[in-house]
Amino acid sequence: MENIKIAFQGEMGAYSHIACQKLFPGASIKACSTFEETFKTAYEDENFRIVIPIENSLAGRVADIHYLLPKYGLQIYAEHFQTVEHNLLVKDNAELKDIKYIRSHAQAIDQCQKIIQKHNFKTIISADTAGSAKELSKGSDKSIGAIASTLSATIYKLKVLMKNIEDESNNVTRFLIMGKKIEQPPYEKNKKYITSCIFRLKSIPAALYKCLGGFATNQVNLTKLESFSVKNTFDQTNFYLDLEGHIEDTRVQKALEELGFHTQNLNILGVYEASPFRQKK
């Protein structure tokens, strides 16, 4: 593939932008206003890879991603775990005594409550962290600060008044790297892999219990299993699943075969090498 390009959702300076820079140094990076636009970008141009946050260690899963994964049929070919470090950004002429308001994404504000309560800041909810920094840079009010990345400070020419103001230091976001026409890596026994899929169960008693039995009997470890509703109905549920192993591993094949017996549909989203971050746990 030539001229690889990267797309992410958010403003330049977002934590997704930082992940893109780490994963693809020097690549051409496109910021998209929505997740839908991001997926569509790679669907329409196979030279694009997209870097998508799927879950955060503190905030849980990212909304809407589970619905977009099967819709566009892109393949996961890697994962990345990004530490989130929040910073208090202000205008160049502002000091701590000037700050009365803090602007940021709701989750970032929730994750920085200690500093907000300590200084009795009033909060302003924004669409995202980098967007809050961008808005701050456009105005002249030095009583407003923003919670965002140091990359945002550089891009929007703001001052970093305080670094690492998050309440919890173990704030990590897991990203999926996806694209079109991705070939899965060949199976090597000395490497660790993740296989991701989405499935819908048959509407019969004990279907979930039975489909999970195949993983138990074949000793395949599940690292993630969560349900999400099928849109426009309360009657059906989809499941997103991550398992340890490669689809060419006999144990994984048998477990997925058993899963298939009890599902209406099964969509393999990708087979990829497990991030070294998992070994640190």
User: Which residues participate in catalysis according to the annotation?
Assistant: 173, 175
Nearest CA to 133 among 161, 113, 171?
161
How many angstroms separate the CA atoms of 104 and 90, rounded?
12
- Compute the C-alpha angle 201/53/163, nearest 5°: 145
How many angstroms separate the CA atoms of 274 and 243, rounded?
10
| Residues in contact with 211: Cβ distance below 8 Å, sequence separation at least 6, in sequence order | 199, 201, 258, 259, 261, 262, 263
Beta strand ranges found along the chain (DSSP E): 5-9, 28-32, 48-56, 60-61, 75-83, 87-90, 101-105, 122-126, 144-148, 159-162, 172-179, 193-201, 222-229, 237-244, 263-273
Nearest CA to 168 among 276, 279, 59?
59
DSSP conformation class of 169:
S
Which spans in the chain are helix H? 15-23, 35-44, 65-72, 106-110, 113-118, 129-138, 150-155, 207-217, 250-261
